[in-house]
Chain A
Amino acid sequence: MDRRAATSRAVLRRRSVGVVTALTTPGRVPSWWLPVLIAAAGLLVAGGAASAWATCPCAKLPPDGEAARLVTGLSFVGVGLIAMKQRRRRRVGLLMAAVGLTWFVYDLGWVYEPLTYTIGTVGAGLYQPILAHLTVVFPSGRTTSRVDRTVVAGAYALYAIASLGTQTLWDPRDTGCPCPANLLLLHHDSRLYAIADATSSVLLIVVTAAVLGVLVWHWRRSGLPGRRALTPVLASSLPIAALVVATTIVGENFLPPLAALALTALPLGFLAGLVRLQLERAALGSLVMELEGDAPIGRIRDALARTLHDRTLEVAYWMPSEQGYIDAEGRPFPLPAAQPHRSVTLLNHLGQPVAALIHDAAVYDNPDLVDAAAAAARLAIDNERLQAEIRAQLEQVRRSRARIVATADAERRRIERDLHDGAQQRLVTLSLLLGLARDQAASTPHGTLVHALDEAADELRSALAELRELARGIHPAVLSEAGLKPAIEALAERLPVAVVVSSPGTRFDAAVEAAAYFVAAEALTNAVKHAQASMVRVTVTHSAGCLTVEVVDDGAGGADPSLGSGLVGLADRVGALAGRLEMVSERGHGTHLTATIPCPPSLSPTARRVGGVSAEGATGP
Chain B
Amino acid sequence: MRLRVVLADDSLLFREGLARLLMESGVEVLAQTGNPGQLLSAVRTHEPDMAVVDIRMPPTHTTEGLDAAAEIKRVQPGIGVLVLSQYLETYAAIRVLTSGPGGLGYLLKERVSDLRQFAQAVHRVAAGELVLDQLVVERMVARRRADEPLAALTSREREVLSLMAEGRSNRAICDQLWLGAKTVETHVRSIFSKLELASTADDHRRVLAVLHYLRS
In chain B between 41 and 97, which residues have their CB closer than 8 angstroms to a CB of chain A?
A: 56, 60-63, 66-67, 86-87, 89-92, 94-95, 97
Min CB–CB distance A469 → chain B (angstroms): 10
For A609, the chain B residues whose CB sits under 8 A away are: 60, 62-63, 67
Check B112–A432 contact: CB distance below 8 A: yes
Taking a contact as CB atoms closer than 8 A, the residue among A436, A464, A492 that contacts B115 in the complex is: A436
Docked pose: A619 CA to B143 CA in angstroms: 17
Interface residue? A428 (CB, 8 A): yes
Q: How many residues of B contact A (CB 8 A)?
A: 41
Docked pose: A534 CA to B100 CA in angstroms: 38
Check A619–B115 contact: CB distance below 8 A: no
Check A432–B17 contact: CB distance below 8 A: yes
Contact with B along A375-389 (1 / 0, CB 8 A): 000000000000000
- Tell whether A619 pairs with B215 under 8 Å between CB atoms, given A436-B115, A472-B87, A489-B91: yes
For B94, the chain A residues whose CB sits under 8 A away are: 615, 618-619
For B98, the chain A residues whose CB sits under 8 A away are: 614, 617-618
For B215, the chain A residues whose CB sits under 8 A away are: 619
Min CB–CB distance A416 → chain B (angstroms): 10
For A471, the chain B residues whose CB sits under 8 A away are: 87
Check B140–A435 contact: CB distance below 8 A: no
Interface residue? B1 (CB, 8 A): no
Most interface-central of B13, B89, B97 (chain A CB within 10 A) = B89
Interface residue? B11 (CB, 8 A): yes
In chain A between 573 and 621, which residues have their CB closer than 8 angstroms to a CB of chain B?
A: 609-610, 612, 614-615, 617-619, 621
Check B17–A477 contact: CB distance below 8 A: no
Min CB–CB distance B144 → chain A (angstroms): 4
For A482, the chain B residues whose CB sits under 8 A away are: 63, 89, 91-92
Docked pose: A417 CA to B56 CA in angstroms: 10
Docked pose: A495 CA to B139 CA in angstroms: 10
Check B86–A615 contact: CB distance below 8 A: no
In chain B between 7 and 61, which residues have their CB closer than 8 angstroms to a CB of chain A?
A: 11, 13-14, 17-18, 20-21, 24, 56, 60-61
Check A493–B140 contact: CB distance below 8 A: yes
Docked pose: A472 CA to B146 CA in angstroms: 26
Interface residue? B145 (CB, 8 A): yes
Check A610–B63 contact: CB distance below 8 A: yes
Interface residue? B212 (CB, 8 A): yes
Main secondary structure on chain B at its contact with chain A?
Answer: helix
Check B113–A461 contact: CB distance below 8 A: yes
Docked pose: A609 CA to B216 CA in angstroms: 25
Closest A residue by C-beta to B147: A498
Check A429–B11 contact: CB distance below 8 A: yes
Check B63–A425 contact: CB distance below 8 A: no
Interface residue? B196 (CB, 8 A): no
Docked pose: A435 CA to B25 CA in angstroms: 12
For B139, the chain A residues whose CB sits under 8 A away are: 493-494
Interface residue? A420 (CB, 8 A): yes
Check A500–B89 contact: CB distance below 8 A: no
Check B113–A498 contact: CB distance below 8 A: no
Interface residue? A497 (CB, 8 A): yes
- Tell whether A439 pairs with B24 under 8 Å between CB atoms, given A461-B110, A498-B146: yes
For A293, the chain B residues whose CB sits under 8 A away are: none
Check B13–A478 contact: CB distance below 8 A: no
Taking a contact as CB atoms closer than 8 A, the residue among B14, B114, B208, B212 that contacts A435 in the complex is: B114
Check B110–A428 contact: CB distance below 8 A: yes
Interface residue? A490 (CB, 8 A): yes
Check B110–A486 contact: CB distance below 8 A: no
Check A432–B87 contact: CB distance below 8 A: no
In chain A between 469 and 494, which residues have their CB closer than 8 angstroms to a CB of chain B?
A: 471-472, 477-478, 480-482, 486, 489-490, 492-494
For B114, the chain A residues whose CB sits under 8 A away are: 435
Check A439–B115 contact: CB distance below 8 A: yes
Docked pose: A480 CA to B146 CA in angstroms: 29
For B87, the chain A residues whose CB sits under 8 A away are: 468, 471-472, 477-478
Check B91–A460 contact: CB distance below 8 A: no
Docked pose: A421 CA to B215 CA in angstroms: 30
Interface residue? B109 (CB, 8 A): yes
Taking a contact as CB atoms closer than 8 A, the residue among A433, A499, A615, A621 that contacts B17 in the complex is: A433
Closest B residue by C-beta to A458: B113
Check B91–A435 contact: CB distance below 8 A: no
For B56, the chain A residues whose CB sits under 8 A away are: 420
Taking a contact as CB atoms closer than 8 A, the residue among A421, A425, A436, A495 that contacts B24 in the complex is: A436
For B63, the chain A residues whose CB sits under 8 A away are: 481-482, 609-610
Check B144–A498 contact: CB distance below 8 A: yes
Taking a contact as CB atoms closer than 8 A, the residue among A436, A457, A618 that contacts B20 in the complex is: A436
Docked pose: A481 CA to B109 CA in angstroms: 18
Min CB–CB distance A534 → chain B (angstroms): 8
Check B66–A610 contact: CB distance below 8 A: yes
Contact with A along B92-121 (1 / 0, CB 8 A): 101101100000000001101111000000
Interface residue? A434 (CB, 8 A): yes
In chain A between 249 and 291, which residues have their CB closer than 8 angstroms to a CB of chain B?
A: none
Docked pose: A431 CA to B21 CA in angstroms: 12
Interface residue? A535 (CB, 8 A): yes
- Tell whether A489 pairs with B90 under 8 Å between CB atoms, given A464-B110, A610-B62, A618-B95: yes
Interface residue? A424 (CB, 8 A): yes
Check B146–A500 contact: CB distance below 8 A: yes
For B62, the chain A residues whose CB sits under 8 A away are: 477, 480-481, 609-610
Interface residue? A496 (CB, 8 A): yes
Min CB–CB distance B66 → chain A (angstroms): 7
Min CB–CB distance B113 → chain A (angstroms): 4
- Tell whether A478 pairs with B86 under 8 Å between CB atoms, given A435-B112, A464-B110, A496-B144: no
Check B109–A428 contact: CB distance below 8 A: yes
Docked pose: A535 CA to B144 CA in angstroms: 9
Min CB–CB distance B36 → chain A (angstroms): 12
Docked pose: A436 CA to B63 CA in angstroms: 28
Check A493–B86 contact: CB distance below 8 A: no
Docked pose: A34 CA to B17 CA in angstroms: 110
Taking a contact as CB atoms closer than 8 A, the residue among B109, B110, B115, B143 that contacts A493 in the complex is: B143
In chain A between 397 and 448, which residues have their CB closer than 8 angstroms to a CB of chain B?
A: 417, 420-421, 424-429, 431-436, 438-439
Docked pose: A535 CA to B146 CA in angstroms: 7
Docked pose: A424 CA to B108 CA in angstroms: 12
Docked pose: A59 CA to B94 CA in angstroms: 118
Docked pose: A610 CA to B60 CA in angstroms: 11
Which 3 A-B pairs give the minimum distances between C-beta atoms?
A486-B91, A431-B113, A435-B113
Question: Apart from A420-B86, A495-B144, A619-B216, what 11 extra A-B contacts exist at CB < 8 Å?
Answer: A420-B56, A432-B113, A434-B113, A436-B20, A457-B113, A478-B89, A493-B143, A499-B144, A615-B95, A618-B208, A619-B212
26 CB-based A-B contacts, threshold 8 Å? A425-B11, A426-B13, A428-B110, A429-B11, A432-B110, A435-B21, A435-B112, A435-B114, A436-B115, A461-B110, A472-B87, A478-B92, A481-B63, A482-B63, A493-B90, A496-B144, A499-B144, A609-B62, A609-B63, A609-B67, A612-B91, A615-B95, A618-B97, A618-B208, A618-B212, A619-B215
- Report which A residues bind B (CB closer than 8 A): 417, 420-421, 424-429, 431-436, 438-439, 457, 460-461, 464, 468, 471-472, 477-478, 480-482, 486, 489-490, 492-500, 535, 609-610, 612, 614-615, 617-619, 621
